[in-house]
Amino acid sequence: MDPQDSVPYAEALRAHDDLDWLRQNVPGYSAAGDRFAAQAGFIGESPLRMDVPPLLEGIDLGPASPLERAQHLAAEAWGARHTWFLTNGASQGNGIATLAGRSLGETLVVQRSVHSSVIDGLVISGLRAAFVHPPSTPRSASPTGSPSRTSPKRSRSTRRQAPPNFAAYALDVRHRMASS
């Protein structure tokens, strides 16, 4: 079997779903479908039981954990040295990515409808922003993310695929100017 066909983190969550254990921490609803009947009726009880706190043996704790294996597979699939999965939303990750972008240059190219967490990261990092207007769908006028053609061709750039509100491009503008 090709390792890229495996889903170690999802398999670990599914295995943990089958355990009968007493929750004394987050999530506060204790994964009890009967306490949240509307949600359980919509998505089923299993996703509620799979909403687990971090640092559980057999899921994300320790070396060679299912989480670590899944991150390694993701990095391999995307051609990256390493990946990190975000928990509790993407705002923290946007801030961290923006701060890390400082090492790539002084200007971050972002779409005009970028999430406020990217703006926060720009302010904290001291990066300048170059805003681009992303294309939008004709029917809803919702931004679809900026196509790669909006990025200068000769720049050293990093593009991360993400929902439209979180799309950002880090460019070393000095390198672009020097090679023009």
Ordered per-residue pLDDT tens for the chain, 180 residues: 898 999 999 999 989 888 877 777 655 556 666 777 888 888 888 887 777 878 888 999 988 999 999 999 999 998 999 988 877 667 888 888 888 888 888 999 888 878 899 999 999 999 999 998 777 777 777 766 655 444 444 334 444 443 443 444 444 444 444 554
Exposed / middle / buried, residue 88 (Cβ in 10 Å: 0-12, 13-18, 19+):
exposed
Interatomic CA distance for residues 133 and 138, integer angstroms = 14
pTM over 0.85: no
For the chain, give every domain's residue range: 3-78, 91-179
Cα–Cα nearest to 111, from 153, 162, 156: 162
